[in-house]
Structure 1
């Protein structure tokens, strides 16, 4: 029994605009998701659920993003210095804006999407040569080692690097993006604007998986979601995530 990360959930006031932005940014396409309300951004030819792809699901909310930096963001991969320069320019033409999150003089570029969700365009790195456009889903946390233990047990992804300051996991098949945890001093402030959605494997029982997560240290989360087929939880450091139902 184990869950697989299948999408990054991004909250937006204008789901159409944010969905179009991320589709253009990643070179993917956008389609209607749940009941035609959300916008699922995925590669062309994608059939849900693909075991090798982590999609972006843009969901509507009434409130704009607060000023605080998101605790979860995407890192985008590039293949060369020229590609990084071209991608940054193209993203800014699509509506991204440069942001200062205290990064200082670094080789990557920090941007925000049209509703202020931060992301990074990385300089070319060998480790991300085969991830696709999303190099990593990055999570700010206080204890990367503890987060790696929880998410290793919660999912079918495996650890690649674990230290006091940084931990990373990736699918056992060695495909798609990494899930990375970075030590940061900031505590959680309000509901997470970006979070992961997990899906049981075919034949696994969703409620049994949710119970297993609670035993690992996850707690139930009430976001006013009401009667929905997915379950909202928080990991031991309070990062929101959802367990989806197999359709």
Structure 2
């Protein structure tokens, strides 16, 4: 495994990793042998807690607070680091939901969600990918959603963003495959995190064949696999982690 770093461990950059699924992914990759660059926007306390968990797993951890939707913020944070270290894995997880029926949705609710999910993917990936191409090795995993596969009422903006991320995953995978860069997506269903705390769980369980909410660690396990040599012949794919929800 070839890595450009001062450490013998490869580096993984995970966006939106301060809490929830992103935090679970960071810990899982630390346990798999990666050092971590953890991006988050503003919740410093949560990010520090994630960093402690990563370090407890035996990995080095660097906290990177910046807004993935702002290209200037992305390059200001990453360019100095990329001069010395090329991440082997990039996980585009940053995102949020701002739900509401489209007939009442504001332009800000539409554009802000797409800016973080799709703009964030573009800005961070475009910053890191040229260096991955140079070293002819890399894993890119984009965290999509069942919402982007099936559509969910009240989530037109979120569903559009996640569906766009799935399309971008498939296109990018074809562009970089010859340089041994693997690009895949993971599509979680209803996962027990802060984002789903206000959803009535009893109503949801009837929609999920396994009859329960998923765990962030279960999504993280799939990401961990896709960032390993065991996934060396997998690219351009979308893996659903949703308890059997019908597509």
| TM-score, shorter chain, exceeding 0.5 | no
More strand by share: 1
TM-score under structure 2 normalisation?
0.34
Normalised by the size of structure 1, how large is the TM-score?
A: 0.34
